[in-house]
Amino acid sequence: MPGEPDIATVAQAIGEPARAAMLLQLMDGDAHTARALATVAGIAPSTASSHLRRLRETGLVEVTDAGRRRLHRLAGPEVAQLVEALAALAPPRLPERFQPDPPAGPLLRARACYGHVAGQLGIDLAVMLRKDGVVDDLAPGETGAIRTFDHPLLAALDIVDSTGAGPAVRACLDWSHGTVHLAGALGATLMTALLDAGWVRRRPHGRALRITETGRRQLGELGLG
C-alpha cells in the first residue's frame, strides 16, 4: 500500500523566495529561459539553473529545447492551480516587481493567470457571464458547462465555441480580490480573443495586462467600463 503523499517535498521546493518568484512568473502560461527567470527572481543565471533543476525534479516545472535555448514552463494546470491557491492564502509579501502600485496596480486590474484573464477584469467578465446565464455560479475549484454562446460579449469577440483540454469552465480563486474568475476552455478562449481583438496587450515584463483604448471603449459599451 502506498504511503501518504510527501507534500513536504513539494512545499520545500516552492518555499524559497527565488523559486516562488519564478513560479509566479510562469503563471503567465508562457515558456521562459533561465536567464529571464533569473531576472524576475533577482538572482544570477547560474543560481537560477540550480533552482529550476529543483523545480523540475519536484515535478513543478518542465523544460523543452528550442534550438539553443532551453525553455521552462509550469508542468501543467494542476501546478497553476496549486500556485494560485497558495497565492490566495499568502500574505501580501511579493517581490518588489510584483507589488501593486497604489491605489490599484496593474496586476490587480488585469493579468494573465495560466492562459486566462485574472484580476478585476477577469472577475468582471465572470460576473457578467454568470449573471446572464452563460455559465453557472460556481464555487472556487468547481467545474461546469457553457450554457450558451448567445451573448453580446462573446459576439463582440467572435467567440462561437470553446475547445481545449480540461473542463469547459472552472472557477479559479483570484488571490487579489478573494472571488473567482473563469478558467477552463472558456477562460482560455476569452484570453486569446481579448488579445487577438486588441482589447488587451501583454506588458513587456511580468504578468500584468494593459487594457487598450479599444478595449476600454468596447468594455464600456458592454457595461464594464
For the residues of 170-218, what is the DSSP string, one character each? EEEEETTTTEEEEEHHHHHHHHHHHHHTTSEEE-SSSSBEEE-HHHHHH
CA dihedral 102, 105, 109, 115 (to 10 degrees): -160
Q: What does pTM read for this prediction?
A: 0.81
Q: How far, rounded to the nearest angstrom, does the alpha carbon of residue 138 sit from its chain's CA centroid?
A: 18
The pLDDT value recorded for residue 84 is: 87
The number of beta carbons lying within 10 Å of the beta carbon of residue 90 is: 11
Going by C-alpha positions, the residue among 48, 97, 89, 98 that lies closest to residue 70 is 48
Q: Are 214 and 201 in contact (CB under 8 A)?
A: no
All structural domains of the chain: 7-89 (1.10.10.10), 101-221 (no CATH)
Going by C-alpha positions, the residue among 110, 119, 122 that lies closest to residue 188 is 122
For 42-54, the pLDDT digits (tens) are 999 999 999 999 9
Q: Are 170 and 102 in contact (CB under 8 A)?
A: no
Half-sphere exposure of residue 2: CA atoms within 13 angstroms, side-chain side: 3
The pLDDT value recorded for residue 103 is: 37
What Cα–Cα distance (Å) separates residue 113 from each residue in 5, 131, 165, 172?
27, 22, 16, 9
Decide: helix, strand or coil at residue 135.
strand
For 147-198, the pLDDT digits (tens) are 999 999 999 999 999 877 679 999 998 888 889 999 999 999 999 999 999 9
CB burial string 142-181: b at 16+ within 10 A, e below: eebebeeeebebbeebebeebeeeebbbbbbbbbbeeebb
Is pLDDT at 96 greater than 70 in this prediction?
A: no
What confidence category does residue 5 fall into, taking pLDDT thresholds of 50, 70 and 90?
confident
Q: Which amino acid is at 124?
A: D
The pLDDT value recorded for residue 36 is: 93
**Could you give the percent of the chain with pLDDT greater than 90?**
72
The pLDDT value recorded for residue 32 is: 94
Round to whole Å and give the CA distance between 159 and 193.
7
What Cα–Cα distance (Å) separates residue 14 from each residue in 19, 52, 60, 62, 217?
6, 11, 9, 15, 40
Decide: helix, strand or coil at residue 133.
coil
What confidence category does residue 91 fall into, taking pLDDT thresholds of 50, 70 and 90?
low
Cell reading at 87: 497565492
